[in-house]
């Protein structure tokens, strides 16, 4: 099979089919590549399904280039929603944040001022105004300042991955789920040529994209590359409720929460994450007592902010490992020492998936190196 230029399409194995892998694969397929999606489990059911899934740039002010990349990520989400339809995955209802102590409050207000100076939309209201106009179910003081970021969203990651994978498979891509990459073979010049899978099969490829999330360091090791990754586990809990009492993602003091459909919510807290290492690792599986206790703590924090959740119940909880490269920033692009090997590894996968997918596909198939990725190239990690 050849493309319109008469050349054979490049065959690309995307290893890891969470939000980043799905976005990369979808963009590659749209540009004419022959795509093979490889995932050890089922697409979208790993970290993508167990993250807070908040698409934002308000929490990304550590450097201006990182902020700009995340702003581009939000724009790419809106563009993607226009192409594939927003239903079931894209919820641009905004985000709210407030504090319960003067130090944190001052920090949030200072960040809001900075973001406003960068042209990022932010509104500051009082607790009373928020209850009256937006979120009547919240228990928050009348005079507390509340930051509202109207251009932010939450994303149903698993639904988005399902949509993207369904489209690329319908267009001819191959999905190899339930199997993992065991070896990456190279030619005499060091360029990628094959991927051996745990089911005993072998793929002949021109390109490998490492989008393996928490397993990215292992996949990098298959081409003798050291990709440093942080160890940062997080616990996420889903609760069932007859009717979701809030309308948007929010960071309340000690707890963050968002809708997860018409009858469920997602809860997370950095404070509860700090307790994970006090729990027996054997007990942090979905049904383990340790994970259940962490979920109960999250549930109690949520009920303090939204009293209506008193009648809700815990449905699921999981401790997942966030895919964060060692310096905290994404690793995206080619690794010059291994021709044909690319990385798409980032903690902020939900926000960045669509823009990284578009930029990396353009780089792989057209040699276009976008300046948005200049600070996030894999070669910054010494070998």
Q: What is the mean pLDDT of the chain?
A: 95
pLDDT at 280: 58
How much is the pTM? 0.95
Q: Which helix (H) or strand (E) holds 13?
A: strand 11-15
What's the order of all strands across the beta sheet hosting 331-334?
Answer: 174-177, 34-39, 11-15, 207-210, 341-345, 331-334
Residue 119, pLDDT score:
98
CA distance 172 to 179: 19
| β-strands 34-39, 174-177 pairing | parallel
φ, ψ at 294 (rounded to 5°):
-60, -40
- Would you say 175 and 37 are in contact if contact means Cβ atoms under 8 Å apart? yes
Contacts of 269 (CB under 8 A, 6+ apart): 254, 255, 256, 297, 298, 301
State which residues of the chain have pLDDT below 50.
1-5, 282-285, 287
By the 8 A CB rule, do 341 and 208 touch? Answer: yes
């Amino acid at each position: 099979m050849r493309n319109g230029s008469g050349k054979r399409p490049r065959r690309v194995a995307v290893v890891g089919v969470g939000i980043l892998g799905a976005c990369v694969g979808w963009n590659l397929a749209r540009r004419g590549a022959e795509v093979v999606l490889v995932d050890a489990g089922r697409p979208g059911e790993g970290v993508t399904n167990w993250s807070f899934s908040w698409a934002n740039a308000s929490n990304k002010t550590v450097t201006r280039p990182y902020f700009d990349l995340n702003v581009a990520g939000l724009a790419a989400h809106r563009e993607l929603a226009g192409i594939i339809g927003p239903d079931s995955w894209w919820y641009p209802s905004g985000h709210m944040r407030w504090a319960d102590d003067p130090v944190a409050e001052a920090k949030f207000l200072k960040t809001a001022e900075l973001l406003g100076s960068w042209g990022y939309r932010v509104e500051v209201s009082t607790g009373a105004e928020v209850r009256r106009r937006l979120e009547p179910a919240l228990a928050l003081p009348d005079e507390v300042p509340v930051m509202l970021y109207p251009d932010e969203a939450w994303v149903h990651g698993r639904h988005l991955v399902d949509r993207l994978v369904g489209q690329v498979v319908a267009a001819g891509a191959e999905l190899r789920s339930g199997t993992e990459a065991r070896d990456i073979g190279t030619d005499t010049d060091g360029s990628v040529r094959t991927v051996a899978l745990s089911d005993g099969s072998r793929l002949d490829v021109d390109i490998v994209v490492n989008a393996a999330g928490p397993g990215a360091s292992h996949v990098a090791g298959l081409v003798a590359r050291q990709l440093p990754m942080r160890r940062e586990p997080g616990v996420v809990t889903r609760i069932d409720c007859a009717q979701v009492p809030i309308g948007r993602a929010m960071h309340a003091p000690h707890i963050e929460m968002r809708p997860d459909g018409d009858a469920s919510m997602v809860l997370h807290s950095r404070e509860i994450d700090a307790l994970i290492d006090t729990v027996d690792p054997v007990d942090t599986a979905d049904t383990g007592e340790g994970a259940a206790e962490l979920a109960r703590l999250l549930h109690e924090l949520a009920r303090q902010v939204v009293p209506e959740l008193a009648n809700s119940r815990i449905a699921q909880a999981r401790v997942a490992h966030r895919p964060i490269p060692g310096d905290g920033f994404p690793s995206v692009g080619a690794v010059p020492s291994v021709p044909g090997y690319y990385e798409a590894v980032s903690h902020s996968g939900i926000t960045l998936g669509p823009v990284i997918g578009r930029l990396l596909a353009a780089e792989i198939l057209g040699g276009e190196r976008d300046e948005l990725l200049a600070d996030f190239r894999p070669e910054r990690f010494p070998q």
